[in-house]
């Protein structure tokens, strides 16, 4: 029996998220600050977004990628 761990969630940069929503990366960072899009911060303070959370918001807003 092996102790396989699930793969880590795929993270996206603000620029990648912005391209999906066709908005400016600053808008994506603002969404993170107000809680509209959950984010994680790197040790250097950069925003990263879980791909599934981005996809969920795309579905909720009806946006197309």
Q: pTM to 2 decimals? A: 0.80
Q: Is residue 30 part of a domain?
A: yes
Consecutive H or E run containing 48: strand 47-50
- pLDDT for 3 equals 67
CATH number, position 24: 1.10.1660.10
Q: Is residue 50 part of a domain?
A: yes
> What is the mean pLDDT of the segment spanning 33-49?
95
Residue range of the domain that includes 22: 11-61
Check residues 62 and 9 and name the one with the higher pLDDT. Answer: 62
Share of the chain above pLDDT 70, in %: 86
Q: Is residue 26 part of a domain?
A: yes
Q: Is residue 37 part of a domain?
A: yes
Q: From CA 65, how far away is CA 44, in angstroms rounded?
A: 29
Q: From CA 36, how far away is CA 21, in angstroms rounded?
A: 13
Split into its structural domains, the chain has a count of 1
- pLDDT for 34 equals 97
Q: Is residue 6 part of a domain?
A: no
């Amino acid at each position: 029996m092996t102790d396989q761990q699930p793969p880590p969630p795929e993270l996206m940069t603000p620029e990648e998220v912005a391209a999906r929503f066709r908005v400016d990366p600053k808008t994506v960072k603002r969404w993170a600050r107000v809680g509209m899009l959950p984010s994680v911060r790197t040790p250097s303070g950069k925003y990263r977004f879980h791909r599934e959370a981005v996809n969920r918001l795309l579905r909720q807003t009806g946006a197309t990628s």
